[in-house]
């Protein structure tokens, strides 16, 4: 298998595809001389990550990708690897250290550059946090990743056109790896590999490259913060399309982005386990249905409403059952109803944490909210729900006027119109913003710590 289009330009590094591929080939040569087969890869610098990733593929080595670079996480993932390569220091672990800076500087590019031949059956082991928060290993093949980016190009390539790719997400997560690294390289589009953590930095770079059209890859958490003060409006004519994944994007945020930046916002639904399942581009609050990607078959459990699917991005021919609840509509469109693992019982009363969250999120006082189950170890106290809330400007005014107790009372009264008293949150915490990790996911441990 070869990369089909050799025209990608790495803008920030000022490197051509030929320079990049020569560096990959040189690094692959040295990696091939190492007997280790399973390589743990964590590299913060995204261009360097791309060199390591493709060099390991070219050397036909198994790649292990951790969910983050915390020392204990890396050491846990090392149980599945023989050697470590990357930017972190892992004392006591077998590490691949090689300084090729002089060799890369002196390379005769035409002489060294050659077609990068890749084995589609090469294994890539992703670690991601499961429903319990513990690291979970998910095995993919490189061929499955390629199938997915081919599908992305088929479905959305015309929307990107010849625009360059910029992002706010990490290359260490499968969403960033697919959308901002593999897809541009496979389709021959120019790319900024560095993630733009702050909108001001993104706006500066877009303005500096005003001759370029931009496809922006981001997360709901980033876009929810952006719309409060959208500094990208002044360069809105540069944006061709925006992609969001990692969780549902609030309709008002989606509408504000489309209005302020005058471009389409496409949400992608999926997971590390399943790959992409469906997509949508909302034009009205009633347009909440998701459209299946090609070659994916789905069915729904009539009792639990759980979604099952068959997909070319999942190994095996059996149905894969997800933890997502859906309502199936005509033409294989569906509505997301929440997670099975977020349907709980409180004193025999069944409730959905997602339903309570979405109801609270519609209140004018609230920008973002997360509902968690608080389990008391002492039998004399009953379990209850806790609400962590980022208030809107209106909510913050009321908080100053009436105190926390007053806001609690108002929100509880609002919820009584929808839910039984038993399942209404008993504890409320008000924060400037909800805690998200580098992948744009809510940090469950930090949420729980608000109630310690």
pLDDT recorded at residue 131: 45
Q: What is the DSSP string of 17-72?
A: HHHHHHHHHHHHHHHHTS---EEEEE-SSHHHHHHHHHHHHHTT-EEEE-S---HH
pLDDT recorded at residue 111: 54
Q: What is the DSSP string of 181-243?
A: IIHHHHHT--EEEEE--SHHHHHHHHHHTTTS-EEEEE-HHHHHHHTTS-TTGGGGGGEEEEE
Same fold? 1-140, 196-340: yes
Q: Which fold has domain 1-140?
A: Rossmann fold (3.40.50)
Cβ within 8 Å of residue 219, ≥6 positions away: 168, 169, 175, 244, 245, 246, 247, 436, 439, 440
pLDDT recorded at residue 113: 56
Residue 170 is given by DSSP the state -
Domain 196-340 belongs to what architecture? 3-Layer(aba) Sandwich (3.40)
Specify burial of residue 400 (Cβ count, 10 A radius: 0-12, 13-18, 19+).
exposed
pLDDT recorded at residue 132: 45
Q: Write out residues in the chain with pLDDT < 50, as ranges.
A: 131-132
Q: Which fold has domain 347-449?
A: GMP Synthetase; Chain A, domain 3 (3.30.300)
- ∠184-37-80 over CA atoms, to 5°? 90
For the chain, give the mean pLDDT: 90
Q: How many residues does the chain have?
A: 452
H/E element, 339: strand 334-339
Distance from chain centroid for Cα 336: 18
Q: 135 with 76: CB under 8 angstroms?
A: yes
Ranges of each domain in the chain: 1-140, 196-340, 347-449
pTM (whole model) above 0.75: yes
């Amino acid at each position: 298998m070869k990369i089909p289009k050799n025209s990608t330009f790495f803008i920030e590094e000022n490197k051509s595809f030929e320079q990049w591929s020569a560096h990959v080939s040189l690094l692959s040569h040295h990696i091939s001389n190492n007997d280790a087969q399973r390589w743990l890869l964590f590299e913060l610098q995204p261009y360097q990550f791309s060199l390591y990733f493709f060099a390991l593929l070219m050397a036909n080595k198994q790649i292990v990708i951790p969910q983050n670079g915390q020392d204990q996480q890396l050491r846990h993932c090392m149980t599945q690897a023989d050697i470590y390569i990357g930017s972190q220091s892992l004392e006591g672990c077998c590490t691949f250290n090689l300084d090729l800076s002089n060799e890369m500087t002196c390379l005769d590019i035409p002489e060294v550059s050659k077609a990068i031949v890749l084995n589609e059956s090469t294994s890539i082991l992703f670690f991601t946090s499961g429903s319990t928060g513990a690291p979970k290993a998910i095995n993919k093949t490189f061929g499955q990743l390629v199938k997915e980016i081919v599908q992305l190009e088929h479905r959305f390539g015309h929307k990107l056109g010849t625009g360059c790719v910029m992002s706010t997400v990490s290359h260490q997560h499968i969403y960033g790896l697919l959308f901002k690294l593999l897809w541009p390289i496979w389709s021959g589009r120019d790319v900024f590999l560095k993630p733009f953590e702050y909108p001001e930095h993104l706006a500066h770079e877009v303005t500096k490259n005003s001759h370029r059209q931009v496809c922006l890859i981001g997360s709901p958490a980033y876009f929810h913060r952006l719309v409060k003060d959208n500094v990208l409006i002044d360069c809105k004519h540069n944006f061709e399309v925006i992609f969001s994944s990692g969780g549902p994007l609030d309709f008002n945020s989606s509408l504000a982005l489309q209005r302020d930046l005058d471009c389409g916002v496409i949400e992608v639904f999926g997971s590390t386990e399943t790959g992409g399942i469906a997509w949508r581009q909302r034009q009205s609050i009633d347009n909440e249905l998701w459209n299946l990607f090609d070659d994916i078959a789905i069915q729904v459990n009539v009792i639990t409403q759980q979604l099952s699917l068959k997909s070319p991005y999942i190994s095996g021919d059996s149905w894969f059952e997800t933890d997502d609840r859906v309502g199936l509509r005509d033409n294989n469109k569906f509505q997301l109803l929440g997670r099975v693992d977020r349907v709980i019982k409180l004193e025999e009363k069944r409730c959905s944490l997602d339903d309570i969250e979405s109801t609270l999120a519609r209140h004018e006082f609230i920008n973002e909210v997360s509902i968690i189950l608080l389990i008391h170890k002492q039998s004399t106290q009953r379990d209850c729900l806790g609400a962590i809330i980022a208030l809107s400007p209106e909510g913050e005014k009321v908080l100053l006027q009436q105190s926390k107790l007053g806001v609690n009372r108002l929100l509880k009264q609002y919820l009584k119109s929808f839910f039984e008293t038993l399942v209404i949150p008993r504890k409320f915490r008000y924060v400037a913003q909800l805690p998200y990790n580098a992948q744009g996911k809510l940090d469950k441990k930090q949420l729980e710590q608000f109630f310690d």
